[in-house]
Amino acid sequence: MKKTNTGLQFILLGIVFAIFWSSASVAAKIGVQSMEPLVLFQFRFFLAGILLLAYHAIFEKWQWPNRQEVIALSIFGFLNVTLYLTLFVLAINEVAAGIGSLSVSLGPVLMAIIGGLILGKKIEAKQIFGLIFGIGGVFIAVWPLLQNSFATFRGLFYLFLGMLSYSLAAIYFSEKKWTLSRYAINGWQVLFGGIFMLPLTIFLKKEPVLFTQENILSILWLAIPVSLLAVNLWLKLIKIDAIKAAFFLFLCPIFGFIFSSFILDEPFTWHTMVGLVLVLLGLFLGQEKK
């Protein structure tokens, strides 16, 4: 009975993670309507970093990162936040929110391929086919959106570069030994990432910062349910069972397209369905099994 309850709890946590994580594209799409993208995410990073480190200080034993950890956190934050989310923010202005969710879901397959090239790990044929199916699925899903101006090739290129940065960050994180708690790691890397992005945000800012109900709610949603809740749920799921946890990423594109269709009235066509099926098949094949 205890095993059943534990399994059910794991599934429920995974579903909650997928719901909140896939909502990021929609929340960003709403926020950028009344605030410049980089400015929006700049507020998100600083708010999320402060809240995470405040949690670490109040509910955990405070631990300052040492010099090596500061360097590692800086590199991780630059790849995982500054570069990845800068590219994502630039892309979300030019692609449908559902495409943002779909592209992010290809991360596990891409990580497996990059891990093989950089770390010399064996790349299985399934992973190569998984990447092919994944890319094919994204292409089919975005084709009608390109025709109807719901996405641009420049926006898709930004997403691809962002995925590369995100994958490199994940590999870098997995290869490092950390003594800090996951709240402290998440808090410092988000804060460092936001600091590194600040000069670019100031340089590219063209309009005065005006707060509206929409962009305030967007910042709060991206900072709390996404950066705090979803990321920490993901770390918890990985700690329980990394292989099973990876399967919850399959749900992200599905929830992403559902949210973007109902909330933003973006198209959900047979192209979307075929693309989703191929992406899910690609992700399934791309899972590295021990």
Q: What type of residue is 131?
A: L
Q: In the prediction, which pLDDT does 234 show?
A: 79
The values of phi and psi at residue 28, to 5°, are -65, -40
User: The dihedral of CA 262, 264, 268, 271: what is its sign?
Assistant: negative
Q: In the prediction, which pLDDT does 1 show?
A: 45
| pLDDT of 149 over the 60 cut | no
Who has greater pLDDT, 127 or 77? 77
Q: In this predicted structure, which of 70-74, 115-119, 167-171, 259-263 has the lowest mean pLDDT?
A: 115-119
- pLDDT tens sequence across 48-98: 999 999 999 999 989 999 999 999 999 999 998 899 878 877 776 676 655
Label residue 155 by pLDDT band (50, 70, 90).
Answer: confident
Label residue 290 by pLDDT band (50, 70, 90).
Answer: very low
Collapse the DSSP code of 161 into the 3-class scheme (helix H, G, I; strand E, B; otherwise coil) and give the result: helix
CA distances to 154, 200, 253 from 93, rounded to whole Å, are 10, 17, 18
Greatest Cα pair distance, the chain, in angstroms, is 59
Q: In the prediction, which pLDDT does 285 show?
A: 67
Q: In the prediction, which pLDDT does 159 show?
A: 80
- pLDDT tens sequence across 192-246: 999 999 998 998 888 888 899 988 999 999 999 998 888 888 777 766 766 567 6
